[in-house]
Amino acid sequence: MKQALSRKKRMDTVHGHSARLHRSLYKMNTQDHNLIDLKHQGRQRMRPRQRKPSRPQSPGWTLAELMISLALMSVLAALALPTYQQQQRQAQRSDGQAALVQLQMDQARWRSQHDAYADSLTALGWSSDFSPRGQYRISIPQADAEGYTLEAWPQGAQAADRDCSPLRLNWRDSATVTLSAGQHPGSDPDRCWRQ
């Protein structure tokens, strides 16, 4: 029994020491924090006060800045859009050109079996008179035993390509091909057939 009492006394002593140790550490820690707070407050007192602006500043653009940027973007768009549309029209000419070249091969195949060239698209097996992508309407305005003329007229948005309307392929005799466009049936001054 004596041993149990002495053991309990030793445990109380250990617990008492640890409790006192915890209290002293807590006091030291709070004193350190108080010192840090005092130092921080002293620094704030030493700084000169900054004046607050008369009206609040918000991040963003003013109306004048917004109007200037919109004006610049509209000028750039006005300059770039016509050039872009012209490039698109030039790229889409290949649709009409491909249709005329295909029709030329179909005419050669037809002529090998007949006395004259075909004067209609249906005779050559075409189910539609449009180019593969639908940008041009294809026609055969003239065909006989000596040769033929094929035309591709722009449709839809491509109709704005007035200088190259229509694209024309003319075949005469046995091997004379004339590629022309627009109002010039025998030449291509606007370079419509060149990419």
Residue 124 lies in a domain: yes
* pLDDT at site 87: 82
CA 24 to chain centre: 69
Residue 43 lies in a domain: no
Q: How many CA atoms lie less than 13 Å away from 59 in the CB half-sphere?
A: 0
Residue 95 lies in a domain: yes
183-188: average pLDDT: 78
Residue 32 lies in a domain: no
Between 115 and 183, whose confidence is greater? 115
With 0-12 / 13-18 / 19 or more C-beta atoms within 10 angstroms meaning exposed / middle / buried, residue 154 is buried
Structural domain that includes position 115: 86-181
Residue with tokens 């872009």: 84
User: Comparing C-alpha atoms, which of 57, 132, 44, 150 is closest to residue 95?
Assistant: 132
> Where does the pLDDT of residue 93 fall: very low under 50, low under 70, confident under 90, or very high at 90 and above?
confident
Q: How many domains does the chain have?
A: 1
* pLDDT at site 102: 92
pTM above 0.85, yes or no: no
